[in-house]
Structure formats: C-alpha cells, structure tokens
Chains A and B, each alone.
Chain A
Amino acid sequence: MSLFEPVGVTHYLIVGAVMFVIGAICMATKRNALGILMGIELVLNGANINFVAFGSQYLRTETLGLDGQLVALFVIVLAAAEAAVALAIALNFYNNHATIDVDRADELKG
C-alpha cells in the first residue's frame, strides 16, 4: 500500500484511526468537561468514517451497501442525543460547583 495510489478504503481508515486516537487522547487528558465532550464526538466520527468508507460503492466492489450509511446515520442521531444529555449534566454540575473541571467530580469515589 502506498499513499500515492488512487484514493481507496485504506485512506479513509487511516483518517478514521487518526481521528479516533485524537479523540481518545482528548478524553484522557482534558480536565474541561466540554473538551471531553469534543473528544467523544471525535471518537464517534472517526468510527463513522469507517462505516461510510465500507459502505461506499465507489471504493470497493464488495460493499456493506446502505447498511454502512444507515449505521453512520444512527451514530449521528445517538451522538446528538448524547450531547444533549451530557451538556445538561455539565450545566447542572456547573450550577452546583461553579466549575466544569471533571477532576472535581469525584464525590462517588470508593
């Protein structure tokens, strides 16, 4: 495989992997709750790219077909719902603690 070949599934997979890793690192390092939410979005979208790539008829002859696209759509819908809930939690947390530092949210620790 080389980068100089015509654009194929492999390229998409690389972009998706990079986005996934960036997202994961973002979740692991950020103390700001909003940053973590962004990391989550990156992780989800990195995975989405993989689905879209496997579902595209232009890239492979053996495709998942519309299944891949549909799963991507579901993930987007889920991400939207999850973002709404997570933002609500963040707002409430801010109301109670006047901060959105996740390290401060350790009241239930063992």
Chain B
Amino acid sequence: MHVQKIRELVKLVHEFDIGEIQVKSWWGKKVTIKKNGSLRVDKRPVSAPNTAPVVLEPEQPSVAPESKPVPPPEKVREEDEKLIKINSPMVGTYYSSPAPDADPYINEGDKISPGKVLCIIEAMKLMNEIEAEISGRIEKILVENSQPVEYNQPLFLVKPD
C-alpha cells in the first residue's frame, strides 16, 4: 500500500476518533491501524475478500517498520541473490499449462522474454494469464500444477539476462 494511503488512513483514525481500522485490498493484503498503537501491515493473504474491498492499485507492498516480514520459503532463501522472483499477483489456483493434457507454458531452463505467458492463475472464475516482464532464464519453478497459491507467493526464479 502506498505511504500516502496509509497517511490518509492514520488521519482518518485521528479525525474521527476511531479506535482501530482494518482495510483489506482485493489482492488479499490487510492493513490495520490502531489508535495509540502501531501500524501493522499484515501481508498474509486472505482467501478472498468478503467485504467491500478498498480500491487499490496492485502496487508492490510497502513494508512498515513494525511489520513482520513473511519469511520466504527455504528454497528461495538458499538461492543466488541475483535471481529474480516472480510472485503470484493474487490468491488462486496455479496452472502450468492452458489445458490439463497440454504442454506447460514454461520449463526450467527455458528462456523467457517480456510478453511470454508463464502460467495461468484461476481466481474467482477468471482465468488470469501471467506474462513475463523481464528477459532471462527460468532457473526454478517453485509450484506444482493445480496447486493453490497465495498472494505474493514466489512462483518462479529467473536468472535475468
């Protein structure tokens, strides 16, 4: 969430003497602001929003000083720091191929370039094609076909060109 948005929420809490305000974005990110307390950015995804979500751009999550970072999976931590992670932009189901009996969009070792379709994430009955924005080589695929994935969960490790 943008810092500006958080400032607006803090102002709202003070102006209207609100004890606590919690905002969930469509993407599953949650921000809680308590009066006389600390700001907490909870990056755990919710399965799906069940309340009116606040309209937010799908920006990179900000990390507030008090926020507790989600530890990356063990495999990711061990990887070369030069590798770039491609994360899931939403909660959903990961599909490696367009159809159950079709070849996967990508395999480990494949070269990718901007516009290359990497996978499908099905969410809320929408089939979302995820395209690469970078050029490089797929070093590791971190998820299995048909696996549920969470918001911001690493899907691929890419060695950039």
**A, B co-complexed:** no
